[in-house]
Amino acid sequence: MNRKFFGTDGIRGRVGEGVITPDFIMKLGWAVGRVLGDGNRRRNKVIIGKDTRISGYMFESALEAGLSAAGVDILLLGPMPTPGIAYLTRTLHAQAGIVISASHNPYHDNGIKFFSAHGAKLSDEIELAIETEIGKQFTCVSSSKLGKAERIDDASGRYIEFCKSTVPLGMELKGMKIVVDCAHGATYQVAPCVFDELGADVTTIGTSPNGLNINAGVGSTQPEALQKAVVEQGADIGIALDGDGDRVLMVDNNGELVDGDELLFVIAMSRKRQAQLNGGVVGTVMSNLGLERALNDSGIAFKRAKVGDRYVMELLQQDGWHLGGEGSGHIICLDRTTTGDGIVSALQVLYAMQQTGQSLSEIKAGMRKYPQLLINVKVNGWVDPGSSSAIQSAVRNVEAKMGKRGRVLLRPSGTEPLVRVMVEGEDPSEVKQVASELAQVVENEYACR
């Protein structure tokens, strides 16, 4: 389906450019209200939450005005992690949840994404209906039918209790020293409380947002500060969240970064020990080959979706499985919640550590990551490397040479004029050589186009 405004995860861009403007966002809120309110007899309500970007205030007001004009009531949460908004949308019985966030992007970007009444991403059909409504003339309901706005003061407390409920009641983190990096983002109020209330000795970084510093030098996209803090403080573990709290990476007691593939392996093995895995695990075409091999060696099925949590979710729902994720740390535990949740995912890893009595460095050792190299080749506009006979011939030659010792993936970027060349295998020198050769073939093929 061709969508004009919605991408794979809502609408996103630089503030003040394109559709990321107050007038468009107000019209978007109005369109959402019109679509959700159509045919419903009872009063509709929509939840709005945001991360800590300075532009969040502006877009919150714009959405509030648009929704009110459509006759929809608004519940304002203030700064709240994306998965927390999904959870509260369900428990407060709202028709939808709206997140004002650009996730791991810098502060000058922002975006809008949505959750259904069930706390899941909106369907393509609803997104298309919203886009159709945006194209219509803006109107306002009569004054007696305007939507009202109310602020929910206990939103953080509700979400904190939910996070703690995703691990067994008797689990305690007493004696464990944890450093939590909140990326100066939406988790800065709730994440430290979750781990503190479970008994951990918690220290924090990235918990002083000023509207301009979200993801700046901290968080899951820049974990170096956390790695340093874990080593200096002699901590047992570090937890790095992103700006809106739906992703997590971790740092072990040696200061080594543990990515989403490794965390997914740890959670999957924990679920298997408890006989709670329910099927297999979904990764993406970018998931490390070591994850697939380690899971298969343990008798766990593994499937690959396209890049993006939306596609991971689709495959999980199609097969009735519960666990999936990406190397970036976007992990989905459908047996615990309805969307990717960094805090909940971290808690599942901590429970696996307690279950085995092992440190994170020990428990992740069951998976050996294969050396992986990604080269971005600049091209003129969008191209499909699969349509080039020269590129496909080169890929076939490489695949024949590497056999089962590695794999190759070429794909166009969905957001930039790039072809991403990814190679992974057992031998790092071979991986580097093969990736360079393929990148050169791509560059030669599209250099003059």
| pLDDT at 1 (0 to 100) | 54
Phi, psi of 321 (to 5 degrees): -90, 170
252 residue type, one letter: D
Percent of the chain past pLDDT 90, that is, above it, reads: 85
Domain with CATH 3.40.120.10 in the chain: 11-154, 164-366
| pLDDT at 251 (0 to 100) | 98
Find the angle CA(221)-CA(79)-CA(260) to the nearest 5 degrees: 30
Mean pLDDT of 253-261: 97
Domain with CATH 3.30.310.50 in the chain: 372-446
Which residues neighbour 291 within 8 Å (Cβ) at sequence distance 6 or greater? 261, 262, 264, 265, 283, 302, 367, 369
136 residue type, one letter: K
Which residues neighbour 298 within 8 Å (Cβ) at sequence distance 6 or greater? 269, 272, 366
pLDDT band, very low/low/confident/very high, at 4 (cuts 50, 70, 90): confident
Rounded Cα distance between 441 and 319, Å, is 37
Mean pLDDT of 419-426: 92
Give the rounded distance of the alpha carbon of 410 from its chain centre.
Answer: 23
| pLDDT at 8 (0 to 100) | 73
pLDDT band, very low/low/confident/very high, at 448 (cuts 50, 70, 90): very low
* Residue 43 pLDDT exceeds 90: no
More confident position, 222 or 379:
222
Mean pLDDT of 180-198: 98
Closest CA to 103 of 200, 183, 190: 183
Which residues neighbour 201 within 8 Å (Cβ) at sequence distance 6 or greater? 175, 176, 177, 178
| pLDDT at 67 (0 to 100) | 97
- C-alpha distances out from residue 280 to 98, 112, 342, 350, Å: 31, 32, 21, 21
Domain 11-154 is of which CATH architecture? 3-Layer(aba) Sandwich (3.40)
| Structure confidence by residue, pLDDT tens digits, 125-183 | 999 999 999 999 999 999 999 999 999 999 999 999 999 999 999 899 999 999 999 99
- 98 by DSSP, 3-state: which? strand
| pLDDT at 148 (0 to 100) | 96
* Residue 365 pLDDT exceeds 80: yes
- C-alpha distances out from residue 97 to 75, 87, 122, 254, 323, Å: 9, 9, 10, 40, 23
Rounded Cα distance between 26 and 28, Å, is 5
Rounded Cα distance between 283 and 348, Å, is 18
Mean pLDDT of 286-305: 96
Could you say which of 68, 101, 103, 156 is catalytic?
103
* Residue 382 pLDDT exceeds 90: no
Mean pLDDT of 338-350: 97
Rounded Cα distance between 223 and 353, Å, is 21
- C-alpha distances out from residue 392 to 43, 399, 445, Å: 56, 10, 11
Mean pLDDT of 362-381: 92
| Structure confidence by residue, pLDDT tens digits, 21-34 | 999 999 999 999 99
Which residues neighbour 76 within 8 Å (Cβ) at sequence distance 6 or greater? 48, 60, 64, 149, 150, 151, 152
* Residue 404 pLDDT exceeds 90: no
| pLDDT at 3 (0 to 100) | 74
Rounded Cα distance between 402 and 82, Å, is 41
| pLDDT at 123 (0 to 100) | 85
| Structure confidence by residue, pLDDT tens digits, 46-91 | 999 999 999 999 999 999 999 999 999 999 999 999 999 999 999 9
Sign of the four-CA dihedral 115, 24, 130, 109: negative
Q: How many residues are listed for the chain in this entry? A: 449
Catalytic residue check, 387: no
Q: Which helix (H) or strand (E) holds 273?
A: helix 260-273
* 181 touches 329 (CB < 8 A): no
| Structure confidence by residue, pLDDT tens digits, 201-252 | 999 999 999 999 999 999 999 999 999 999 999 999 999 999 999 999 999 9
* Residue 40 pLDDT exceeds 70: no
The CATH number, out of the four listed (3.90.420.10, 3.40.50.510, 3.30.310.50, 3.40.50.300), of the domain defined by the range 372-446: 3.30.310.50
* Residue 413 pLDDT exceeds 50: yes
pLDDT band, very low/low/confident/very high, at 447 (cuts 50, 70, 90): low
Rounded Cα distance between 26 and 134, Å, is 10
Which residues neighbour 83 within 8 Å (Cβ) at sequence distance 6 or greater? 245, 246, 337, 339, 340, 341, 342, 343, 344
Find the angle CA(394)-CA(305)-CA(122) to the nearest 5 degrees: 135
Say which CATH superfamily domain 164-366 falls into: Alpha-D-Glucose-1,6-Bisphosphate, subunit A, domain 3 (3.40.120.10)
Mean pLDDT of 185-197: 98
Q: Which residues of 292-328 are buried (b: 16+ CB within 10 A; e: fewer)?
A: bebbeeeebebbbbebbbebbbbbbeeeebbbbbbbb
* Residue 410 pLDDT exceeds 60: yes
Mean pLDDT of 284-293: 94
Phi, psi of 237 (to 5 degrees): -165, 155
Q: What is the mean pLDDT of the chain?
A: 94
More confident position, 298 or 405:
298
